[in-house]
Amino acid sequence: MLKKHLATVLVLISFFMWTSTALAAEITVQKGDSLWALAKKHGTTVQKLKEINGLTSDFLQVGQTLKIPDQKNTESKEAAGSKESASRGSQSRMDSLIKFATSLLGSKYRHGGESPKGFDCSGFVRYVYKQFGVDLVHSSSGQFKGLSEKVDKADLTAGDLVFFGSSSKNINHVGIYIGNNEFIHASTPKTGVIISSLSESYYSSRYQGARRVISD
């Protein structure tokens, strides 16, 4: 009987030691936080954050409390992961980004706007990417010049930014490529946020190039 009791105590001690190691801290979500940024900051993964917090969505609310896994434990698991798994994680991130961007279809156009109350083209791009831990300038020409990774039109993938203007020195419009030769953008005060085709004559004649924001 005593041996059974001691064995139970040892099991409980081991469990609590594992718990305190696996969950090193709790944080409160602040304005501008995203799962991607928090995972990078605390040396863990988005999937791990979602698992230990029981999250089914990639989006957070200000004031929300999150458990942060132990960094050493996470690093050892990540080291054992394959390159293929990392690629799938990156693809999942882009899938979530495109899903979030398309959820804003129909939002109003507002010059200088960068919130669901109203967007201009670069404000829309900035708002979408900010939810995923990337802070871009609020300027289509600034995004074009500031992002260094150029992408050929034939190599476009979902999440790439596509730029338009009368020349490469006069960029005045930007959108997010979503696949199938289409992009989502805050177009005009009349249409708001819509999906357009790169094949449309207006855009094909003004297309000046693309940039990749997040690499694999």
- In angstroms, rounded to a whole number, what is the distance separating the alpha carbons of residues 164 and 176? 12
Q: Is 185 a catalytic residue?
A: yes
Q: Is 5 a catalytic residue?
A: no
Q: Which of 42, 111, 138, 173 is catalytic?
A: 173
In the chain, the amino acid numbered 175 is G
Q: Coil, strand or helix: which one is 13?
A: helix
Q: Is 138 a catalytic residue?
A: no
Burial status of residue 174 (CB atoms within 10 A of its CB: 0-12, 13-18, 19 or more):
buried
- In angstroms, rounded to a whole number, what is the distance separating the alpha carbons of residues 10 and 134? 46
- In angstroms, rounded to a whole number, what is the distance separating the alpha carbons of residues 140 and 131? 18
Contact (Cβ atoms closer than 8 angstroms) between residue 131 and residue 100: yes
Which of 212, 174, 180 lies closest to 197, judged by CA?
180
Which of 105, 109, 129 lies closest to 119, judged by CA?
109
Q: Which of 5, 42, 111, 121 is catalytic?
A: 121
**Facing residues of 109 across strands?**
119
DSSP state of 109: B
Which residues are catalytic, by number?
A: 121, 173, 185
